[in-house]
């Protein structure tokens, strides 16, 4: 029986094989370590920021304070795209001190996108600016980038374009992440869904999403924190009525009960009222709680169709009683 000779690997073939393996490893490495989009806390809009930019603690976006570079991300209603595209003209930008350099369609799989590049003089600083508007079925993403001339070498045009091209949208933001934006802790949602979070201020909870017309006919509660100093109980009662009087969207409003009470071990005030929803005409019952302390107050306004009040009121109380200082 004749044995086959093992294949001989020539130096040239060996070099080719090694080169192919090296290319394969580079490709696999690129797939394994590709940068993932970063979403600022509570934001549905995210992207892969250029190296050096980190999530900002003071605004929705990324920043490099040392180089005075900022990238702001905003999520607007879907219809905002047409308004922005129409009104953000070269002349309008000039009034804001921005000289338009270019205006071009920007290729994104998400949807229609427009990129405006310009220059701006801000005091003694010369800024290079990028404005990206992206239309998606759920929202309009608006990204603003500003880079001082001194930082252009660190953040060149190619790096900014690459970051903008990585823009993506997430459909679900974890409740824990959204609640982390509040100036207070909220431990019990009592079955409500998070409708809208106002960073550093408050939150709207509802049985329906805020973009649903049905949400007006379902129980909902707004919780907001604000600074204030009310020294006397009589002042608290007056303050509570004034705060309640600012409630909009209600017709035939009538206060049925009001008085002081303690909430979470702190001084508080309660107002109960009835009325009609100005949009739907549905009879509604309303409760307002104010909790004073820490140099400010917490305002809670629960609204429910009167037919569902008996079920909604205990849920409002459960939310109220779960709030703690952060």
**Residue 112 binned pLDDT confidence (cut-offs 50, 70, 90):** very high
pLDDT digits (tens, 9 = 90+) for 249-266: 999 999 999 999 999 889
Q: Region 31-38: what's the mean pLDDT?
A: 66
Q: Region 306-321: what's the mean pLDDT?
A: 97
**Predicted structure pTM score:** 0.70
Same fold, 45-169 and 175-325: yes
CATH of 45-169, one of 3.40.1000.10, 3.10.180.10, 3.20.20.70, 1.10.10.10: 3.40.1000.10
| Per-chain mean pLDDT for the chain | 87
pLDDT at 326 over 80: yes
Contact 283, 306 (CB under 8 A): yes
Give the 3-state secondary structure of the chain.
CCCCCCCCCCHHHHHHHHHHHHHHHHHHHHHHCCCCCECCCCCCEEECCCCCCEECCCCCEEEEHHHCEEEEEEEECCCHHHHHHHHCCHHHHHHCCEEEEEEEECCCCCCCEEEEEEEEEECCEEEEEEEEEEECCCCEEEEEEEEEHHHCCCCCHHHHHHHHHCCEECCCCCHHHHHCCCCEEECCCCCCEEEEEECCCEEEEECCCCCCHHHHHCCEEEEEEEECCCCCHHHHHHHHHHHHHCCCCEEEEEEEEEEEEEECCEEEEEEEEEEEECCCCCEEEEEEEEEEECCEEEEEEEEEEHHHHHHHHHHHHHHHHCEEEC
**pLDDT of amino acid 224:** 95
Contact 132, 164 (CB under 8 A): yes
pLDDT digits (tens, 9 = 90+) for 125-149: 899 999 999 999 999 999 999 999 9
Number of CB atoms found within 10 A of residue 134's CB: 22
* Alpha carbon distance 83, 79 (integer Å): 7
Contact 255, 272 (CB under 8 A): yes
* Alpha carbon distance 113, 281 (integer Å): 40
Task: Report the CATH fold assignment for 175-325.
Answer: Protein Transport Mog1p; Chain A (3.40.1000)
Which token pair is 125?
Answer: 């600083």
**pLDDT of amino acid 318:** 97
Check residues 74 and 229 and name the one with the higher pLDDT.
Answer: 74
**pLDDT of amino acid 230:** 64
**pLDDT of amino acid 58:** 84
* Alpha carbon distance 299, 228 (integer Å): 11
pLDDT at 228 over 50: yes
Classify residue 130 as exposed, middle or buried by CB count within 10 Å of its CB (0-12, 13-18, 19+): buried
pLDDT at 23 over 80: no
pLDDT at 82 over 70: yes
Q: Residue ranges of the domains in the chain? A: 45-169, 175-325
């Amino acid at each position: 029986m004749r044995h086959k000779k093992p294949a001989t690997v020539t130096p040239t073939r060996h070099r080719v094989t090694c080169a192919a393996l090296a290319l394969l490893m580079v490709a696999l490495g690129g797939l394994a370590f590709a940068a993932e989009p970063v979403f600022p806390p509570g934001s549905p809009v995210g992207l892969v920021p250029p190296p050096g930019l980190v999530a900002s603690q003071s605004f929705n976006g990324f920043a490099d304070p040392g180089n005075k570079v900022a990238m702001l991300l905003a999520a607007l209603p879907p219809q905002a795209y047409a308004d922005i595209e129409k009104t953000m003209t070269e002349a309008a930008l000039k009034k804001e001190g921005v000289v338009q350099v270019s205006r071009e369609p920007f290729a994104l799989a998400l949807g229609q996108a427009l990129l405006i590049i310009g220059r701006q003089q801000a005091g003694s600083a010369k800024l290079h600016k990028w404005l990206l508007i992206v239309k998606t079925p759920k929202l309009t993403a608006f990204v603003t980038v500003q880079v001082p001339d001194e930082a252009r070498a660190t953040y060149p045009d190619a790096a900014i374009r690459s970051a903008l091209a990585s823009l993506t949208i997430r459909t679900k933001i974890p409740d824990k992440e959204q609640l982390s934006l509040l100036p207070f802790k909220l431990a019990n949602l009592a079955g409500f869904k998070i409708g809208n979070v106002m960073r550093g201020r408050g939150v709207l909870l509802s049985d329906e999403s805020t973009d649903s017309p049905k949400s007006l006919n379902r129980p909902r509660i707004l919780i907001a924190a604000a600074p204030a100093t009310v020294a006397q109980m009589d002042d608290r009662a007056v303050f509570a009525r004034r705060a309640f009087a600012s409630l909009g969207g209600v017709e035939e409003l009538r206060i049925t009960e009001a008085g002081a009470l303690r909430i979470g071990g702190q001084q508080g005030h309660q107002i109960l009222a009835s009325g009609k929803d100005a949009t739907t005409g549905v009879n509604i019952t309303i409760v307002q709680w104010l909790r004073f302390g820490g140099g400010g107050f917490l305002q809670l306004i629960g609204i429910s169709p009167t037919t569902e009040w008996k079920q909604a009121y205990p849920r409002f109380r459960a939310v109220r009683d779960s709030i703690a200082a952060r």
